[in-house]
Amino acid sequence: MAIIQALGIASSLGGPYNSHSNAAELIRDHLRYYATELKQPQLQWHMVYPKRNGTKDEKLQRLNQIISQYTRYWAQSATPFLAIGGDHSCAMGIWSGVLQSLKKNQRFGLIWLDAHMDAHTFSTSPTQNIHGMPIAALLGTTDKQLTHLYPGNKFIKPEHLVLMGIRSFEAQEYTLLKTRGIKIIFSDGINDFSKNLLSVVQQLSLTTEVIGISIDLDFIDPLEAPGVATPVAHGIKAQELINALKLICHCPKVVGLELSEYHPQSDQNNKTLALMEKIISTFYPCKIP
């Protein structure tokens, strides 16, 4: 049986709570011991942990470097992968690794499913939480502290980035994205998510060779995915996400999926955990050759 590479990132360094740290271990163990779906893909897990010593910035910088080495290698060898956070700051490492893997004739498209824009820098963020900054880091900014946390020196092109499901943001984030002409599909502009996601994948397929999908679990309606740190009402229905993933998982350009921001302490009867299992068992079987 073909094996899918899975990276678990046991870190809460970028968020306000520390309980994201065991999120990846929980989903790994859930899939190993309790998964009920027959079509489970075989996952080969690699867990990464932050170092104990150093400042928060030093730990995050090192962690993202290690994350990026994994995804760089997998993307270079066209191996489909799953990455499980951790708070959403791990997206800097995950997608920077893919960007670094690109050959001269390759371009990378990223679809960001999130309730938030995650486009703050240290100079604009009211909370200074780094899980609100990965988009700014991936685009490349003049914020030195943020650039320092980002592994590598390759950034995503604004025309290859699409944000979907947004419903909570600050003016400075909107300005950063708008001045760069980035496509944003707000939550209230989504009527048929499958249709919208398919069209975004088709559009990106015209101009890029490699596509990634970053899912912040708060993209989903908190009634169905309560296990997140920063819930925002009126999200996308879980079944709509599953249906949409079923449609696009066959696209060979979609190489990797990230699921971040699982916050076990806020989950209700493992509802969000079960949904993560469903997302994984929907998406990966079609990635097995």
Give the catalytic positions in this structure: 88, 114, 116, 118, 131, 216, 218, 261
Q: How far is the CB of 20 from Mn ion (least distance, A)?
A: 12
Interface with Mn ion by CB under 5 A: which range of 76-84, 159-167, 214-222, 266-274?
214-222
Which one, 4 or 215, has the nearer CB to Mn ion? 215
Contact between 173 and Mn ion (CB under 5 A)? no
Q: Which of 214, 226, 273, 220 is nearest to 32 (CA)?
A: 273
Q: Which of 43, 91, 82 is nearest to 63 (CA)?
A: 91
Do the beta carbons of residue 227 and residue 23 sit within 8 Å?
no
Determine which residue in the list 87, 143, 216, 221 makes contact with Mn ion, applying CB under 5 A. 216
Residues 74-103 vs Mn ion: string with x where CB under 5 A? Answer: --------------x---------------
DSSP secondary structure code for residue 71 in this structure = H
- What is the rounded CA–CA span in Å between residue 270 and residue 251? 30
Q: Which of 148, 171, 158, 190 is nearest to 64 (CA)?
A: 148
Which one, 97 or 132, has the nearer CB to Mn ion? 132
Interface with Mn ion by CB under 5 A: which range of 108-116, 137-145, 199-207, 221-229?
108-116
- What is the rounded CA–CA span in Å between residue 78 and residue 103? 12
Which one, 114 or 173, has the nearer CB to Mn ion? 114
The per-type count for the chain, helices as H runs and strands as E runs, is 9, 8
Site residues (vs Mn ion, CB under 5 A): 88, 114, 118, 216
